[in-house]
Amino acid sequence: MKAFVVTHYGPDGLEAADVPAPTVGPRDVLVDVRAASINPLDKMVRNGEFKQLLKYQPPFTLGHDVSGVITEVGSQVRDFKVGDEIYARPRDLRIGTFAEQIAIDSDDVAPKPRSLSFEEAAAVPLVALAAWQALVGLASVKPGQKVLVHAGAGGLGSTVIQVAKHLGAHVATTAATKDIEKVRALGADEVVDYTSTNFAEVISGYDVVLDSLGTASLEKSLTVLKPGGLAISVVGPPDPHMADQLGTPLLKPVMALLSRKIRSRAKKLGVRYSFLFMEANGTQLTTLAALYDDGILKPVLDRTFGFADTIEAMAYVEQGKANGKIVVTR
């Protein structure tokens, strides 16, 4: 079958290839891929940024989001059948959605939201799970709390705004001038134009900050939290809890060292820091599907590419042009 494979780590490491059809295990479903979306995580995995933690062995098929139709079920699968329309974020070490087919553990799969097209559904799993696991799992956001999310017009930020509003939070975000009305329409109560204003000078007393931009933004984000507030990063540095999630407790000292500076800074300010290592979860995707079908959440797409143009779609994302999710379709 046709797929896009990481042949070696690096910016030029993704290539089109013919690969064997997936093997379907007893708990797996085989999915005919209708659409897949591109995430910054795809670039990070392609470039080898997690190669010490996630032991992928090139060549391997890339891609973390998918929607499609089940064509085969494993002998132990009871909740899905051939013909079901699904969406998923396959678990780490079993990714590979940039392909014609993929075998996925059935625990990672959920029925596709009925109200969404395959293209829209493919844009959802990773960002929706990240938003849910950050705001509900890590932060336990309650009505009336204040949440700041950076880059509110992007794929993750636009989803976090909506989930935070659903949870009853007061939401602030950073955005470019051209995107202010867009993020307000998504539910942002307060918008900081980052092209002209330093958010740390106008935002204060927040319960939670979700950062996806990097070290400089994260360090400033600590200063806008109220005492005991929580800064969550999806781009690092990893904290010791990630070692538990990966089942590699021996790496705890390494991750403690990597995050020592930011955790020390947080402690001095009387706030907390957590790294979000998002995990596949079909049950949570089922909960989120209902929110999409009820119109509480809406996917935010920038544009779609054909499957043959997956490498060009990756380049488009890396150029920073995307204003929402980028989806490739078959």
pLDDT digit string (tens) for 268-291?
999 999 999 899 999 999 999 999
**5 confidence band (pLDDT: 50, 70, 90):** very high
pLDDT recorded at residue 106: 98
Residues found in the chain: 330
pLDDT recorded at residue 206: 98
pLDDT recorded at residue 203: 96
How far, CA to CA in Å, does 152 sit from each of 9, 144, 174? 30, 19, 6
pLDDT recorded at residue 249: 79
Q: Provide the percentage of residues in the chain whose pLDDT is more than 90.
A: 87
Q: How far is 235 from 277, CA to CA, in rounded Å?
A: 9
pLDDT recorded at residue 245: 77
- Tokens encoding 296: 């509480």
Instruction: Give the rounded distance of the alpha carbon of 294 from its chain centre.
Output: 22
pTM of this prediction? 0.95
195 with 215: CB under 8 angstroms?
no
Residue 147 above 90 pLDDT? yes
Residue 59 above 80 pLDDT? yes
CA atoms within 13 A on the CB side of 105: 13
Look-up of token digits 């134009």: 193
Q: Higher pLDDT residue, 99 or 254?
A: 99
pLDDT digit string (tens) for 61-71?
999 999 999 99
Q: Which CATH architecture has domain 127-275?
A: 3-Layer(aba) Sandwich (3.40)
Question: What are the residues whose beta carbons fall under 8 Å from the beta carbon of 3, sequence distance 6 or more?
Answer: 16, 17, 18, 19, 61, 96, 98, 99, 100
CATH 3.30.70.240 fits 2-124+299-329, yes or no: no
Using DSSP, state whether 209 is helix, strand or coil.
Answer: strand
What is the distance in angstroms between the CA of the first residue and the CA of the last residue of the chain?
13
Q: How far is 281 from 261, CA to CA, in rounded Å?
A: 31
pLDDT recorded at residue 234: 93
pLDDT recorded at residue 8: 97
From the list 120, 125, 118, the residue with the least C-alpha distance to 65 is: 125
Question: What are the residues whose beta carbons fall under 8 Å from the beta carbon of 230, sequence distance 6 or more?
Answer: 138, 139, 207, 208, 209, 271, 272, 273, 274
Residue 262 above 80 pLDDT? yes
**321 confidence band (pLDDT: 50, 70, 90):** confident
pLDDT recorded at residue 87: 98
Q: Where are the alpha helices (DSSP H) in 28-100?
A: 40-46
**257 confidence band (pLDDT: 50, 70, 90):** confident
What mean pLDDT is predicted for residues 305-329?
93
pLDDT recorded at residue 243: 76
Residue 210, beta-bridge partner list? 149, 232
Tell me the residue ranges of DSSP E strands in the chain.
Answer: 2-6, 14-18, 28-38, 60-61, 66-73, 85-88, 101-105, 109-111, 146-149, 170-175, 190-193, 206-211, 225-233, 272-275, 301-306, 325-329
- Write down the domain spans for the chain: 2-124+299-329, 127-275
Question: What does R_g of the chain's alpha carbons equal in angstroms?
Answer: 19
DSSP 123: T
What mean pLDDT is predicted for residues 223-242?
92
Dihedral angle, C-alpha 42, 187, 237, 224, nearest 10 °: 160
pLDDT recorded at residue 162: 98
